[in-house]
Every structure is written in C-alpha cells, then in structure tokens.
C-alpha cells in the first residue's frame, strides 16, 4: 500500500481519478489498546465495520474477532488471516450453508440466534454438536442510539425465557445472552438498562448463563455528535453486570465495530464542479459516504491545498458522482468559501462503515487506499475525563458445563 505523511501530500502528486481512502492503522491500535486496558471483559471486533486487513491486524492484539456477516467470506477472511483468532458468528439469521462452513471449515463454535428455528438450523448444520456457545440475542431499546437497530433482530424479554431454556438444554458448553443498543449510542445508561431487562428474563428462565455480550454501539465523535467519554460506557456496563444474577460466573463480552475503527479512516475526494453551495465530488452515497448520505450525518471536512485558503468557512452540500438523486449529503460540511473545481477535500472519521459500504454502482467505486501517519480528527481515546468505577475482582468458579438452576 502506498503511503503519505499526511493527505496534504496528495496535492503535490497526481491524485487518482477516483477517491482515495486514507487508512490510519495507528488509530485502530489506540482504540484497541483502550478497550484492552479499560473494558473489564473480552473485546471482539465486529469485522463488518471495516474488513480491511489493517483493522483486524491491529484489533488482532485483542482476544478475538467477530464475524457479523452471513457471508462465508467474512468468516473466511478472519479465519485464514488470523488462524488463532476466536471467531463468533453473531448474525442471528444465517444460511444453513454459512453455518455449516463456519463450523466445519473454520472451527467456529459460537453462534447467535433469536428464534427456535435458527437454533434448530444451527444444531442440524453442526451435526448436533454439544460444544457450542449459543448466544440468545435480545431486542432492546435503541432510544439512546443515533441509528437504532431494534426492529430487525432479537427476542423480547417475554419471549426470551423459553428460548433460553431450550438453548441451555442444547449445549453442554456455554449459553450466552447478547443485545445491541443501536449504533452510535449516545447514552451510556442504555447498556445498564438493557442488562436489567436481560437479567429479568434470565431469572424468569431459571438458567445459568455463561456469557453476557453487550454487543456494539460504542460511539465515535462526529460534528454535532460528541458522545460522553468512553469510560462512562464502561462504567455503565460494569454497574449493569454487577447487578446481574449471573455476574459471579459469567464472562463479559463486547463487540465494538464503529468505536474501534471510525478514527482510522477518511476519504480524499475531488471537487468536479461547484454550483453555489453544492459541491459535486468523485465519491458519495454508493462509495464511502453512506452514513453522510443515507443517515444524513455530518462529518468533519477540510480543504487540502498546498497554500492554505484564507477564505471564511461556509456551509456546503455534497453530491456524489452517480446519476442517482439519492447520492446527496446535506451536511452541512464547513469548507473555505473559495473552494472550487479541482480542489481536494478530506472527509474525516470515515473508518467505520465507510469503504466497507462501497459499491460499484453506476461504474464508480474504484477507491485507492493510502496509509497516513497523522491523527487530524477528534479522538475518543485521549485523556479520560470521568472517574473510573472499579469492578471488584471475584473468583470464577466455572464457566464451562454449567448446571441448570
Ligand atoms: C451483531 C453485531 N455486533 C456488533 C456490531 C457493531 O456495532 P457498532 O459498529 O455499532 O459498534 C454490529 C453492527 O451492527 C452487529 O450487528
């Protein structure tokens, strides 16, 4: 991979015709190290956020990797590159073939489910394996999230006890519970509230649970969305876990995606045309700007010019290169008022769900990646400003072959 000291270097060479994705693997390292130092359990990486090798490599220092995709390629990607990684297939609805391949070809033993039918599929495709870790996914409120995920997956608190009992009987290894509070969760207490509901269902089911997986949802900083310090999320999870009936013996897991990689990527795009406050770029909704266009989120942007512009900052809208009118981002993106055709702009904090969402629609989507060593965008991993709540150390009696209670 080509590298630059900073994206500004691109102004001095012939930039590719398409957009340039800037990768900053050192930002993944910073985020991964933060989670390793502060999260009181095992941190998996939700590969879907950015399947680029550099991201998994940096997160690879962590215990494990999560494949949240039903496609074999995501499981295979991690399994082949990182043979020692602990893999978990956390998509609650998988094809039979994907389950079978994950289990037989790549040794995956951890599967999420949110229905009895999916449990039956998992048991059938793994030949009735008794050593599975079966993780029951709950539907929890997405109220604290910029993008709630509650509607598609998960059992309700009322439905859960029956499925928990059934899954408990199906495995001699570990039974887990998981949820997702929604991506870009802005309220740390959403985790504690979710854990409270999950706990009620476990008590009602009368089963012992070995894994409490708090999912993803950990936020990044975007314009107009400055989350509370990350340590407040960890504190909320610690408190929620403490209050759970199974806390004495269960393992605590998390599956961050966005929070591990958001700061590690940006896009350098070229202005092809300006019409008033609208900039037509060589990248957009079907390239790396999915969240900016489809979710209408704002992202930090700056003009890359060898000689810095002295013009005032003005709000701009962006249009992508395809013919689709959905290929538009309202922003606003604050850029110097004298910006025009041929200028390069860098759009930051796109490491999560940026290049990962790109398509080849309308003949576009050819994106060159270059590595950069700088750290120009706001970070969640500076000094912690909130007080850390200690989680008492306790003896683990057993995490395997739990007895039914
Ligand atoms: C099962 C699962 N785990 C983890 C994640 C990562 O979520 P986030 O990027 O919000 O941290 C996702 C994303 O939707 C997911 O579906």
Conformational region of residue 168, where left means phi above 0, alpha means psi within -120 to 50, and beta covers everything else? alpha
Residue with tokens 């000094």: 383
Supply the mean pLDDT for the chain.
89
61 in a structural domain: no
Residue 64 lies in a domain: no
Q: Which atom of ligand 1 is nearest to the CA of 217?
A: 10
In 3D space, the residue among 228, 344, 160, 365 whose CA is nearest the CA of residue 283 turns out to be 365
Q: CA nearest 176: which of 252, 256, 71?
A: 252
CB 290, CB 253: distance < 8 Å:
no
**Banded model confidence at residue 65, pLDDT cuts 50, 70, 90:** very low
| Residue of 29 and 151 predicted with greater confidence | 29
Distance of CA 32 to CAs 58, 63, 91, 303, Å? 7, 10, 22, 30
Closest CA to 339 of 403, 280, 257: 280
Residues 243 and 301 in one domain: no
311 and 198 within one domain: no
Q: Where a domain ends, among 195, 220, 254? A: 254
Q: Are residues 276 and 245 in the same domain?
A: no
Say whether both 188 and 122 belong to one domain: yes
* Residue 206 covered by a domain: yes
pLDDT digits (tens, 9 = 90+) for 42-60: 999 999 999 887 777 666 5
Report residues whose beta carbon is within 6 angstroms of any ligand 1 atom: 46, 49, 68, 90, 149, 180, 183, 215-218, 255-259, 352
- Assess whether 268 and 244 both reside in one domain: no
Q: Quick check: is 48 in a domain?
A: no
- Using the predicted structure, report yes or no on whether residue 33 has a pLDDT greater than 90: yes
Q: Which of 107, 110, 129, 382 is nearest to 263 (CA)?
A: 382
Question: What's residue 11's pLDDT?
Answer: 87
> Which domain CATH number covers 363?
2.40.37.10
On whether residue 132 sits in a domain, the answer given is yes
Most confident among 80-94, 277-291, 360-374 (mean pLDDT): 277-291
Q: 111-134: per-residue pLDDT in tens? A: 999 999 999 999 999 999 999 999
Tell me: do 165 and 292 sit in the same domain: no
pLDDT digits (tens, 9 = 90+) for 72-94: 468 888 888 888 889 999 999 99
Contact 126, 132 (CB under 8 A): yes
- As for how many domains the chain has, the answer is 2
Considering the domain architecture, whether residues 114 and 222 belong to the same structural domain is answered as yes
Q: How far is the CA of 207 from the centre of ligand 1 (A)?
A: 26
Domain membership of residue 146 (yes or no) is yes
Helix (H) or strand (E) holding 346: strand 344-347
Which residue's alpha carbon is nearest to atom 1 within ligand 1? 90
pLDDT exceeds 70 at position 175: yes
Q: Are residues 135 and 280 in the same domain?
A: no
> 101 alpha carbon to ligand 1 midpoint, in Å?
22
Q: How far is the CA of 323 from the centre of ligand 1 (A)?
A: 31
Domain that holds residue 105: 69-254
Q: What angle do CA 47, 48, 53 make, to 5 degrees?
A: 50
């Amino acid at each position: 991979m080509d590298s630059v000291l900073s994206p500004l270097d691109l102004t001095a060479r012939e930039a590719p015709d398409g957009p340039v994705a800037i990768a900053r693997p050192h930002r993944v390292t910073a985020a991964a190290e933060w989670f390793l130092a502060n999260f009181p359990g095992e941190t998996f990486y939700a590969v879907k956020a950015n399947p680029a090798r550099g991201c998994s490599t940096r997160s690879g220092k962590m215990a494990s990797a999560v494949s949240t995709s039903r496609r074999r390629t995501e499981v295979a990607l991690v399994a082949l590159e990182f043979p020692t990684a602990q893999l978990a297939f956390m998509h609650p609805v998988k094809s039979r073939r994907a389950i079978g391949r994950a289990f037989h070809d790549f040794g995956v033993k951890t599967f999420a489910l949110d229905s009895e039918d999916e449990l039956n599929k998992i048991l059938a495709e793994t030949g009735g394996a008794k050593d599975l870790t079966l993780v029951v996914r709950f539907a929890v409120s997405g109220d604290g999230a910029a993008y709630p995920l509650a509607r598609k997956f998960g059992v309700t608190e009322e439905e859960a006890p029956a499925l928990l009992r059934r899954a408990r009987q199906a495995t001699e290894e570990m039974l887990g519970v998981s949820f997702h509070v929604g991506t870009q969760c802005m309220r740390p207490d959403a985790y504690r509230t979710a854990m409270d509901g999950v706990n009620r269902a476990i008590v009602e089911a009368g089963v012992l649970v070995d894994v409490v997986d708090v999912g993803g949802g950990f936020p990044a900083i975007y314009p107009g969305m400055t989350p509370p310090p990350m340590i407040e999320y960890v504190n909320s999870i610690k408190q929620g876990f403490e209050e759970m009936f199974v806390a004495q013996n269960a393992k605590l897991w998390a599956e961050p995606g966005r929070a591990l990689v958001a700061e590690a990527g940006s896009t350098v795009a070229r202005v092809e045309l300006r019409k008033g406050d609208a900039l037509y770029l060589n990248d957009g909704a079907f390239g790396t700007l999915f969240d900016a266009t489809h979710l209408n989120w704002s992202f930090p942007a700056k003009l890359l010019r060898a000689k810095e512009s002295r013009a005032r900052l003005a709000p701009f809208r962006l249009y992508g290169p395809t013919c689709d009118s959905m290929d538009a981002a309202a922003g606003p993106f604050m850029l110097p008022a004298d910006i025009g055709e041929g200028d390069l702009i860098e759009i930051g904090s796109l490491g999560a769900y940026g290049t990962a969402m790109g398509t080849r629609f309308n003949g576009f989507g050819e994106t060159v990646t270059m590595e950069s060593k700088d750290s120009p965008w706001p970070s969640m991993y500076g000094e912690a400003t909130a007080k850390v709540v200690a989680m008492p150390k306790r003896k683990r009696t057993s995490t395997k072959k739990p007895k039914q209670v």
